[in-house]
Amino acid sequence: MNEFTVGVEEEFMVVDPVSRELKSHEQKIVDSAQRIHEDQVKAEMHQAVVEVGTHICRNTEEARKEVSKLRLTVAQLAGDMGLRIGAAGTHPFSHWQHQLITEHPRYNEIVDELQDAARSNLIFGLHVHVGIQSREMAIHIANQVRYFLPHVFALSANSPFWEGRNTGFRSFRTKVFDKFPRTGIPDLFNSIEEYDNYIKLLVKTNCIDNAKKIWWDIRVHPFYETIEFRICDCPMLVDETIAFTAMFQALCAKLYKLRLQNMKFITYPRALINENKWRAARYGIDGKLIDFGKQQEVNTRLLILELLDFVDDVVDDLGCRDDLNYIHKILEHGNGADRQLAVYQQKGNFVDVVDFITSQTLKGI
């Protein structure tokens, strides 16, 4: 039986508490954190970013403890250095041109190849790994689960502002990342061999040097026995991070269960799923997505409730019902973008939005 273990990676912004601008921490947060958590805290391409990652967790309860502990450690270390951390998909007003790149051969190579596409990639995401021991099963599940990515993405949208503008999107982070090659919803792969041959061709033709430069919204991980979900903005609240982790875990378990019963969910072309991803980025949970089975637009909130029903029969075995139920609270109170926009409409300036983000990052811990 597959275990459906989970692992969670979050990318945080480092903020100057006076100017509220993004601020380089000169890797001091990472150096200090590694003495506590070893390899769980890492530098990212921009010096104003800190990435944390849990160990392999058996369930969402374990993941919650680790995510909370990592957020708390990084926030305390930042505080000791006169800095703050914040959890959102983009910083509301900092400009990427003013941000320093981390000195590292891999980042130097990416910047050299991708130029301003890389330098401007000042965004913060959530990556969730779900353990799938068989790579054949992993590609089977990844093909089908693509359909549901826009639904969870709409819930996670947490980046309405970019460089001091209200972009009109609930998630502008994804628009920034679109400039990179090999991003977005992946194509359908008929077998793990077809996927591996695709990777080999890209390596052979010097498109990539290894499979980690596949930056899709979901991928069969090149080194771990996991499916990695990469579509979500970094959520403001731990409750949200764990709710999305629970949903991805439940989706994998449900599609696995169907496979064991000789059934599967319909696989749709990338071009169709992309229509829903665009709508989710633009409108979040307040728009409509296309139900491709019915071939009609349906209220996004309704489809999210249908999604909760779809996974309901595996949730208790996974032990993640309470965590998954938080999705109802998001539908009630709005996603991160909705809450950021409400603060901006009330206060009228981005400084208050940054303060709101940094105050929410440790809420409930």
Give residue 200's identity as a one-letter amino acid code: K
H, E, C per residue of 298-318? EEHHHHHHHHHHHHHHHHHHH
How many whole angstroms separate alpha carbon 99 and alpha carbon 192? Answer: 39
Q: What pLDDT sits at residue 26?
A: 81
With a CB cutoff of 8 Å and minimum separation 6, the contacts of 90 are 122, 123, 124, 159, 161, 162, 172, 173, 176
Residue 341 maps to a domain:
yes
| Per-residue model confidence (pLDDT) at position 107 | 76
Of 365, 285, 280, 277, nearest in space to 332 by CA = 285
Residue count (the chain): 365
Considering the domain boundaries, does residue 118 fall inside one? yes
Reference 10, options 95, 89, 108, 118; nearest CA is: 89
Based on the number of CB atoms within 10 Å of its own CB, is 253 exposed (0-12), middle (13-18) or buried (19 or more)? buried
Question: Which domain range does residue 45 map to?
Answer: 6-360
Element (H, E) at 343: helix 336-347
Q: Which residues, in sequence order, are bridge partners of residue 128?
A: 8, 229
Q: Quick check: is 229 in a domain?
A: yes
- For residue 242 the two structure tokens come to 């764990």
Domain count, the chain: 1
In a domain, 52, yes or no: yes
What CATH number is attached to the domain comprising 351?
3.30.590.20
Q: Residue-wise pLDDT tens for the chain (365 aa)?
A: 678 999 999 999 999 999 999 998 888 889 998 899 888 998 887 888 999 999 999 999 999 999 999 999 999 999 999 999 999 999 999 998 888 777 877 778 888 888 987 787 799 999 999 999 999 999 999 999 999 999 999 999 999 999 999 999 999 999 999 998 999 999 999 999 999 999 999 999 999 998 989 999 999 998 999 999 999 999 999 999 999 999 999 999 999 999 999 999 999 999 999 999 999 999 999 999 999 999 999 999 999 999 999 999 999 999 999 999 999 999 999 999 999 999 999 999 999 999 999 999 999 98
Q: Is residue 365 part of a domain?
A: no
Tell me if 188 is assigned to some domain. Answer: yes
CA 202 distance to own-chain centroid: 25
Q: Is residue 1 part of a domain?
A: no
Instruction: Let me know if 12 is exposed, middle or buried by CB neighbors in 10 A (0-12, 13-18, 19+).
Output: buried
296 domain residue, yes or no: yes
